[in-house]
Amino acid sequence: MSLVGQIASLQNYASYKELAWEGTFEDYLEMVRKRPQLTRNAYQRLYDMVLSYGVEEYIDNKKKLVRYKFFRDDTHGGKDAVFGLDVPLMRLMNVLKSAAQGYGTERRIILLHGPVGSAKSTIVRLLKRGCELYSKTPEGALYTYYWELPGPLAEHAGGSEVFPCPMHDEPLRLIPREWRDETVKRLNLGNDGFKIRIDGEVNPACRMIFKELMRHHGGDFEKVMKHVKVRRLLLSEQDRIGIGTFQPKDEKNQDSTELTGDINYRKIAIFGSDSDPRAFNFDGEFNIANRGIIEFVEILKLEVAFLYDLLGATQEKRIKPKKFAQTDIDEVIIGHTNEAEYKKLLSNEFMEALRDRTVKVDIPYITRVSEEVKIYAKDYVSARVGKHVAPHTLYVAALWAVLTRLEDPKKGNLSPLQKAKLYDGKTLPGFTQDNIKELRKEAAREGMEGISPRYIQDKISNALVSEKGDGAVNPFMVMNELESGLRHHSLISSDDIRKRYGELLQVVKQEYEDIVKNEVQRAISADEELIQKLCANYIDNVKAYTQKEKVKNPYTGQDEEPDERLMRSIEEKIDIPESRKDDFRREIMNYIGALAIEGRTFDYKTNERLHKALEAKLFEDQKDSIKLTSLVSSVVDRDTQAKIDVVKQRLIKNFGYDEVSATDVLNYVASIFARGDVKS
């Protein structure tokens, strides 16, 4: 086989034939009778496209939420996946649902509003790419038409025997408006699941061709329709078919014809007039986006001349090309803008009409650390960057980013770090899911300010190319980059904010210190099964204590009083005083009961304080088997070194370290132990 033949063998010819389908207007009517969904408008198709990927329902803070799988971008390996924005995306989908059902929002501009780097452009890019792919599927098929004008009829198209519909109109628009309702009834178009509505008129160029053919055939509609060839329409941003993008440029170079098309002066000589629609290029962004979606980048930077076109396109679903009647369009209009531009809109009285035609959907920064980590994990996992990324490197960066976006808690007994953990699904004593709802309500603008993911990505990149890394990158390298970059960050407007961000970075450093101390402790004790047994034993005793019952000794089978010494030895690890022990034990039992009501099983890992207490207790029971302070000694005996190597291998196996980072962490924690910074 030739080289070209080998390439050609990759083609799915059956798929190509299906996507290149052509037929008569009669064929199309027959298809519509069987599948009325072929005639969906742009909003209906966009909404169905997102739903076609499936949804996941889950409960968060007693509230049922929906996660749309489309925004995971599995089709492209998660390249443009959107994380942590389930609620904003639900609001966006509610707008699309309302528009798809014709409740009014189809006559509005969808405006994604939020701080820089909050995934506004990514969401629109996903929707545009999704429309392209959906149009190639059997479920997302849509159709347009062209005119066949053989022999002398070609003069109507300037000598060409083929005249494509310049705006890719729905073929049913060729049915005159006064016949449409009766046509739907007689041909039995539509069904209980989908009612067909034929909206809008054909574009001016096709309208003229239609009139000329009607005159030629003496008003015989059936003969005119024999000149119509219906074909499959594939949306494509690259080919400028059904997907449009408009980006404001320099004020002196802007021209409204970029949106609505312009006169083709070469064709004036053929058709004799600049008001002949066949001498007009219907290639403005509104024209080419017909049947699909148009994106306005930084929409509020538009000049007034563009504003008028935009207002008509949203409210009336019409545009006004130069020297022609208003032309119907069918497309989703979506724009995005940042906070500063939106504030200008609110203060500009001349923009009142635009505000009235806008549905704003806030796209804030992520406020859940685990979701923020996913953004960086896409690009900075070890396998992708070719260097070892030490555990918690991405976590500390994500934690700091989230902390900068949170408002200070109004409750005096709650720190920003604790608030971030509550938002991320962790539990703290004295706080319920209702408390978390209150925290979110009292901080209405949370997520609209703070550090952008782009800044974090830039600093992680700096750490990766740094010569200090010795083939790896660790949390301290990234935190140093984050801190040094604050001095030159262009979006930090005041020294007070810069100081606050620096203080939050110290909070993150302390949190990281606690994490690695805990990991080394766990690597020394290391036995998950022992912790679970200790937890079960503790819970059994707490349950008996709170319910004034006895505990069955597993070895003797005798009923005994709850083991007070065991319970206190665990509770003292997290500074529960004797006077508070009853309250703490009731809290634990209430928490387990609340989980049971929701159908969830208690796991000690979700209760951070109890988790720490159990590990500290187990560590205390086993710590004498190895002296951590010996790590920082210049002389280590063979037996101690063997034990250190076992701990190191546990860090590598259980926590994701490599040889270098495990050694670094052990040395770092050992230095803390050596200075007496860990409670015995």
- Give the model confidence (pLDDT) of 516-540 as tens digits: 988 887 787 666 777 888 888 888 8
Residue position matching structure tokens 């990505």: 457
CA-based R_g, the chain, Å: 33
What's the order of all strands across the beta sheet hosting 162-164? 22-24, 228-232, 143-148, 162-164
Q: What is the pLDDT of residue 678?
A: 47
**What is the rounded distance in angstroms from the CA atom of residue 148 to the CA atom of residue 234?**
20
Contact status, residue 148 vs residue 229, Cβ threshold 8 Å: yes
Q: What is the mean pLDDT of residues 551-580?
A: 86
Q: Which of 166, 210, 228 is nearest to 22 (CA)?
A: 228
Contact status, residue 382 vs residue 391, Cβ threshold 8 Å: no
3-class secondary-structure state, position 164:
strand
Answer yes or no: is pLDDT of 679 > 50: no
Q: What is the pLDDT of residue 365?
A: 95
**248 vs 238: which has the higher pLDDT:** 238
Q: What is the mean pLDDT of residues 560-575?
A: 88
Answer yes or no: is pLDDT of 61 > 80: no
**What is the rounded distance in angstroms from the CA atom of residue 648 to the CA atom of residue 200?**
71
Q: What is the pLDDT of residue 11?
A: 87
Mean pLDDT of all residues in the chain? 88
Each residue's pLDDT tens digit, 387-438: 889 999 999 999 999 999 999 888 767 899 999 999 998 888 778 777 888 8
Answer yes or no: is pLDDT of 209 > 50: yes
Residues 6+ apart with CB under 8 A from 125: 80
Each residue's pLDDT tens digit, 350-363: 678 888 889 999 99
Each residue's pLDDT tens digit, 115-154: 999 999 999 999 999 999 999 999 999 999 999 999 888 8
Beta bridge partners of 23: 230
Mind giving me the DSSP string for 575-625?
Answer: T--GGGHHHHHHHHHHHHHHHHHTT----GGGBHHHHHHHHHHHHHHHGGG
Query: Angle formed by the axes of helices 393-405 and 475-485, to 10°?
Result: 40
Residues 6+ apart with CB under 8 A from 376: 394, 397, 398, 453, 456, 457, 460
Answer yes or no: is pLDDT of 630 > 80: no
Answer yes or no: is pLDDT of 369 > 50: yes
Percent of the chain with pLDDT over 70: 94
3-class secondary-structure state, position 170:
coil
Query: In the structure encoding, which two tokens stand for residue 607, read together?
Result: 């209760």
Q: What is the pLDDT of residue 110?
A: 95
**346 vs 461: which has the higher pLDDT:** 461
Q: What is the mean pLDDT of residues 96-103?
A: 95
pTM (two decimals): 0.83
Each residue's pLDDT tens digit, 643-664: 778 888 888 988 889 888 888 8
Q: What is the pLDDT of residue 392?
A: 94
Q: What is the pLDDT of residue 225?
A: 96
Residue position matching structure tokens 């059936």: 222
Contact status, residue 149 vs residue 212, Cβ threshold 8 Å: no
